[in-house]
Structure 1
Amino acid sequence: MNRAAFLGLRLWKSGLLVPPSTIARSLPFQGRAMPEILLRFSDNETTYERVNALAAELGITPEQWVLRAVAKDLGDYGLKPVPDGLQPKSLSQLFEASGVLKPRT
């Protein structure tokens, strides 16, 4: 991964940038459903309460914390190197070039 892609991902993971899933949700809906993953916690587990407490401590929503945790654990898995000489005009172009976002159709 080149430096620009790495920097973009580091900023995204640190919360200075909006996660790509939020960017995608802010784009026109175009009549398509957004993919979702449903998490379920048993009544006798403390995971749900701990996620909520940690997210509150960080000043973010539990959903934002889960997105950060997934992004951190995925790292650069499945991403491709940004082509040499690419000069993206926006973060969306950078994220598309590295595979973080799907290309617009």
Structure 2
Amino acid sequence: MADEVLGRMVIELGLDHAAFGKGLTGAKREVKYAMSEMKSSMAVLGQSGRQFDVLSAKSKGLSQVMMSQQRVVEKLGKAYKDSLVDGKPTAQTAKLATQLQNANAKLASL
């Protein structure tokens, strides 16, 4: 029973993305935190031996990671659009295009 309570405590620690900041850096920190939280939950639940709980926690954690990564994609997309001057690319536009492409690939891989 003690393992069950501890497992739930770890799983129910949620992401309050307001604490991470509103910019791209905050969104990236949120992704790292969500991945870390998911790994911790998997470690705790893996010791309990209950496969359903492990899969449930993994699903919930992956959903949080995907939502966080989606915010990164959105922030990069906005930064990319804002980098265009009169519809023409700037030096920053190419860097942002690469970052946006990588962020989309990461989201797709999740």
User: Do the two structures share a fold, i.e. TM-score over 0.5?
Assistant: no
Higher Rg of the two aligned structures: 2
More helix by share: 2
User: Greater relative contact order (Cα 8 A, min sep 6): structure 1 or 2?
Assistant: 1
TM-score by length of 2: 0.25
TM-score by length of 1: 0.26
